[in-house]
Structure 1
């Protein structure tokens, strides 16, 4: 078992509220002492697993002390990074970060892109998308960028059409054609896999699919194309901490041949190295 520290959402929420978003805090909030551990917030699968591999197998050769804290949602890793509770995070893609920074006044910036988790459409009631019945209910992640991404997946596979220019902020209101009269159930991304038994189909983020023992490669009805995909997940820090020696070491290791091989061996196409 990899040595990671699990933090419950409830406990972290209290910490986040106590510390606040304090963008006005100094860059020294995240310790820059090269001798102290770099604390990285991460989703459990696959991010914390990849970091666990780096910690166990690679960090020593770079004299890097690494601590991994697992978070259960998509908000607290950024607020914890902004406040200095952690020194970096690894869980998100650029469209999500751009939207988060805009809405919350945070100053998180990407450092090194590591992998892609293809978004997929899953169902326990249909074996292919043409089996979806009229009026079928489809669960979608409800955060702005991932909901748009889910709708774009449905559009790319002919289930709906979206208004021209809807882009990365598309919502069900931007659906202009819906021949199957699909109904959409919007849920927090982490909750979507748990709703799979109660809906006709669900668009699930790759990390949550893997965590729910689903194989994007083998179990999805349709899957995002990897080529030209803007949703690569990256190591990120509060602006001003990009040159922290520990961050630079971790970025180098996350883009190493060893990590690429680990991703290929461990996830069998459900997670794809993006470097």
Structure 2
């Protein structure tokens, strides 16, 4: 339920590897904290989706509606880009977008930036929320059935295996790379998640 501790624990040597984040998030944290970690292989994509307890389609989103999005820079940007891709807002052409980069907002949408793990619980208080799939599943939401809109398989946000830079070519890391990019793992992802999470290799 935390996006920070797995990376600090890895950087400090408490972990040999972690597997929970996409490349933009890893790169942002690395540049901020100088953690000395890197990624090796892409494993799967957990598409981000827009969920609501109050509406079932974008057409029903009222003027002035409030949408909750993650409050970390990379996932907040990802959420805004999903909304832009579906015509709700337009954004400046920037790699990491924030609400300050919104150039048009015809429905006068309001944005509430919150901790990503808390987003499923906020659905009672907002009109809609953009939620990472892992937290959607934990909140008993089915991405394929409950998401009003969802990222495509072409999403650049594949989850990756992360290790300390000096361990990138170690035998342990190579073994993990092989297992995580194996046909057995691919089959497991496809069967377990039935399309709500998909392989990235």
| Superposition TM-score, scaled by structure 1 size | 0.72
SS at match of 1:166: coil
Match of 2:63 in 1: 134
Report the alpha carbon displacement of residue 226 of structure 1 after superposing the two structures with TM. 1.2
User: Is 1:97 matched with 2:23?
Assistant: no
Any residues of structure 2 matched to 1:16-165 within 5 Å, and which? Answer: 72-163=1-92, 165=93
2: distance between equivalents of 1:112 and 1:271?
A: 17
| 246-255 or 114-123, larger mean C-alpha shift | 246-255
2: distance between equivalents of 1:197 and 1:262?
A: 34
Match of 2:143 in 1: 216
Match of 1:202 in 2: 129
Question: RCO higher in 1 or 2 (8 Å CA, sep ≥ 6)?
Answer: 2
SS at match of 2:144: helix
2: distance between equivalents of 1:151 and 1:261?
A: 32
Report the alpha carbon displacement of residue 245 of structure 1 after superposing the two structures with TM. 1.4
SS at match of 2:47: coil
| Aligned length, in residue pairs | 201
1: distance between equivalents of 2:91 and 2:10?
A: 35
Report the alpha carbon displacement of residue 166 of structure 1 after superposing the two structures with TM. 2.4
Q: Kindly indicate whether the alpha-carbon contact (under 8 Å) linking 1:210 and 1:270 is maintained by their aligned counterparts in 2.
A: no
2: distance between equivalents of 1:209 and 1:158?
A: 23
Over aligned residues, Cα RMSD in angstroms?
A: 0.9
Report the alpha carbon displacement of residue 176 of structure 1 after superposing the two structures with TM. 1.1
User: Is 1:244 matched with 2:170?
Assistant: yes
Match of 1:262 in 2: 188
Query: Computing the radius of gyration over CA atoms, which structure comes out larger, 1 or 2?
Result: 1
| Superposition TM-score, scaled by structure 2 size | 0.97
Match of 1:184 in 2: 111
Q: Kindly indicate whether the alpha-carbon contact (under 8 Å) linking 1:140 and 1:150 is maintained by their aligned counterparts in 2.
A: yes
Report the alpha carbon displacement of residue 108 of structure 1 after superposing the two structures with TM. 1.0
Q: Flag structure 2 segments of 5+ consecutive residues without an equivalent.
A: none
| CA displacement 1:83-139 (0-9 Å, x = unmatched) | 001111100001111111111111111011100001100011011011011111100
Counterpart selection for 2:156 from 218, 226, 230: 230
Q: Flag structure 1 segments of 5+ consecutive residues without an equivalent.
A: 1-71
2: distance between equivalents of 1:192 and 1:82?
A: 28
